[in-house]
């Protein structure tokens, strides 16, 4: 029943309206962002969102630093790669590289790690004095007004105290469930976790103590904020606000037109069970017996080669194309309906609001923060993550949809892209930081 209510509700607005908030110049400040993954070798949503925020603040006249983790003995290689990608140029945030102080790097899939190794890794990541030492030294050298942490597995939450010990205000942005879950995803056994398991209870308790040092919590969806609040992740009275991410692609000028004879559905992202790709393929196969426009499905992205081979064998159909890694902008421009079928409680998928910038309506699972950005029946169509029949019926609806109805969906999607533009997001972020630094309560 709870899922049905989420499916039907309209997408709420963020606590502070980007569209109506008066912009006023903010006194230039010094920021330090801490995140495990970062460009050029990390193209995931969290890394990209942090990079967009850092670069937009720099464009507003602030001094911006970013520290990221690299493998042991990998600082020189990481610096060379960043230089080759133009990330060390004077017009970019100042980039710092810290070697990971653990027995292997997070998400290092090049070798198999046994249960004992994983247990040791997570034990170190609960409280990592070496990472905290390095981080405090950097904070002492940079002297930031604000430290903004986000994806900190590998650093550990022990860096929270290191930030505030040097007098900086600490903002933590929750882009995953790391404060609650040792694996950051709250997903096990093929479905989202409904409660904290034993090891996560221990991890959450330790991180709750570290979280006492955070001055402001930001979450990229209300769902993420509520999940953390449900398990007591925040100190009493500490502000917790929803902060959208920046879509750095320019918005198209007009809604899209749908051809009368064909429609292209599209998925872009990591191809993995948590992303609901099998549900998508099941729904696509069900289109064989439905009427309407001819259809095709393009699936862009990378994944485990064995899993990809399994999907190709199981869902062989000439209308289903696995196109591999591709640049997002031309992909969005080549499809008519974006699909986001996650079975994992996605905090806030970038693909949806990026697609809105291309006036793309979406079919999406009502999981995690997705219903906050998809207004059912207006910017797209929602379904319960386990309801493949409804999923398939939504695809069939778009196949049979009159062109004027599709254009209304497309126009609404384009309008929904505005809150994610750089100017809108940065104006709200600056206002909140300004309030924090002036001793007020951010809103």
User: Can you give the CATH number for the domain in which 154 is found?
Assistant: 3.40.50.2000
First CA to last CA across the chain, in angstroms? 31
Backbone angles phi, psi at 274, to 5 degrees: -65, -20
Task: Report the chain's mean pLDDT, rounded to a whole number.
Answer: 92
Q: Determine the structural domain holding residue 364 and report its residue range.
A: 262-420
* Per-residue pLDDT band at 409 (split at 50, 70, 90): very high
Q: Do 293 and 206 reside in the same domain of the chain? A: no
Do 266 and 372 sit in the same domain of this protein? yes
Shared-domain flag, residues 184 and 266:
no
| pTM, 2 dp | 0.92
Number of domains in the chain: 2
In a domain, 81, yes or no: yes
Same domain? For 268 and 167 the reply is no
427 lies in the same domain as 362: no
Residue 287 located in a structural domain:
yes
Task: Please compute the mean of the pLDDT values over residues 231-238 and round it to a whole number.
Answer: 94
**Cβ neighbours for 223, distance < 8 A, ≥ 6 positions apart:** 345, 347, 368, 369, 372
Let me know whether 100 and 131 are in one domain: yes
Whether residue 274 sits in one domain with residue 225: no
Counted residue by residue, the chain has a size of: 443
How far apart, in whole angstroms, are the C-alpha atoms of residue 127 and residue 102? 11
pLDDT reading at 24 higher than 80: no
Q: Are residues 213 and 281 in the same domain?
A: no
| Burial degree of 429 (CB within 10 A; 0-12, 13-18, 19+) | buried
Query: What pLDDT score was predicted for residue 25?
Result: 77
Query: Does 57 map to a domain?
Result: yes
Judge if 113 and 184 occupy the same domain.
yes
Kindly state whether residues 15 and 143 are assigned to the same domain. yes
- Among 16-30, 156-170, 348-362, which is the least confidently predicted range? 16-30
According to DSSP, residue 376 is labeled: B
Is the residue at 284 inside a domain?
yes
Give the relative orientation of helices 305-314 and 277-285 as an angle to the nearest 10 degrees: 10
Cα angle, residue 419 at apex, residues 300 and 329 outer, rounded to 5°: 25
Strand order in the sheet with 240-242: 94-99, 63-70, 30-34, 146-149, 169-174, 216-219, 240-242
Q: Are residues 222 and 283 in the same domain?
A: no
pLDDT for residue 5 is more than 80: no
Q: 284-333: per-residue pLDDT in tens?
A: 999 988 889 999 999 999 999 999 999 999 998 999 999 999 999 999 99
What tens digit of pLDDT does each residue of 179-219 get? 999 989 999 988 999 999 999 999 999 999 999 999 999 99
């Amino acid at each position: 029943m709870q899922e049905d209510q989420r499916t039907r509700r309209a997408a709420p607005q963020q606590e502070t309206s980007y569209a109506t908030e008066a912009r006023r110049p903010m006194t230039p400040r010094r920021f330090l962002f801490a995140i495990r993954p970062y460009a050029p070798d990390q193209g995931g949503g969290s890394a990209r969102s942090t990079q967009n925020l850092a670069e937009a603040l720099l464009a507003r006249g602030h001094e911006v630093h970013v520290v990221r983790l690299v493998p042991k003995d990998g600082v020189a290689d990481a610096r060379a790669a960043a230089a080759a990608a133009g990330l060390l140029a004077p017009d970019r945030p100042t980039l710092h590289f810290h070697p990971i102080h653990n027995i292997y790097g997070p998400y290092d899939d090049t070798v198999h790690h046994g249960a004992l190794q994983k247990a040791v890794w997570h034990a170190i990541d609960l409280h990592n004095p070496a990472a905290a030492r390095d981080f405090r030294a950097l904070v002492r050298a940079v002297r930031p007004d604000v430290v903004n942490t986000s994806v900190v597995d590998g650093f550990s939450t022990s860096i929270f105290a290191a930030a505030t010990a040097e007098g900086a205000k600490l903002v933590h942005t929750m882009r995953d469930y790391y404060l609650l879950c040792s694996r950051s995803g709250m997903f096990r056994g093929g479905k989202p976790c409904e409660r904290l398991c034993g090891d996560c209870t221990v991890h959450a308790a330790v991180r709750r103590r570290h979280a006492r040092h955070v001055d402001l919590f930001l979450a990229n969806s209300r769902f993420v904020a509520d999940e953390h609040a449900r398990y007591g992740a925040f100190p009493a009275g500490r502000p917790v606000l929803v902060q959208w991410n920046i879509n750095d692609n320019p918005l198209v000028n007009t809604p899209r037109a749908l051809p009368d004879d064909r429609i292209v559905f599209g998925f872009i992202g990591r191809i993995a069970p948590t992303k609901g790709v099998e549900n998508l393929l099941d729904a696509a196969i069900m289109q064989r017996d439905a009427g309407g426009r001819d259809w095709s499905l393009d699936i862009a992205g990378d994944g485990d080669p064995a899993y990809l081979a399994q999907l190709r064998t199981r869902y062989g159909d000439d209308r289903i194309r696995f196109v591999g890694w591709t640049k997002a902008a031309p992909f969005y421009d080549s499809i008519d309906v974006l699909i986001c079928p996650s079975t994992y409680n996605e905090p806030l998928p970038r693909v949806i609001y990026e697609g809105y910038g291309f006036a793309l309506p979406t079919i999406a699972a009502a999981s995690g923060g997705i219903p906050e950005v998809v207004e059912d029946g207006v910017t797209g169509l929602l379904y319960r993550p386990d309801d493949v029949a409804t999923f398939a019926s939504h695809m069939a609806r778009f196949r049979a949809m009159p062109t004027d109805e599709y254009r209304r969906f497309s126009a609404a999607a384009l309008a929904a892209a505005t809150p994610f533009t750089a100017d809108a997001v940065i104006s709200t972020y600056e206002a909140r930081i300004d309030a924090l630094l002036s001793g007020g309560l951010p809103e």
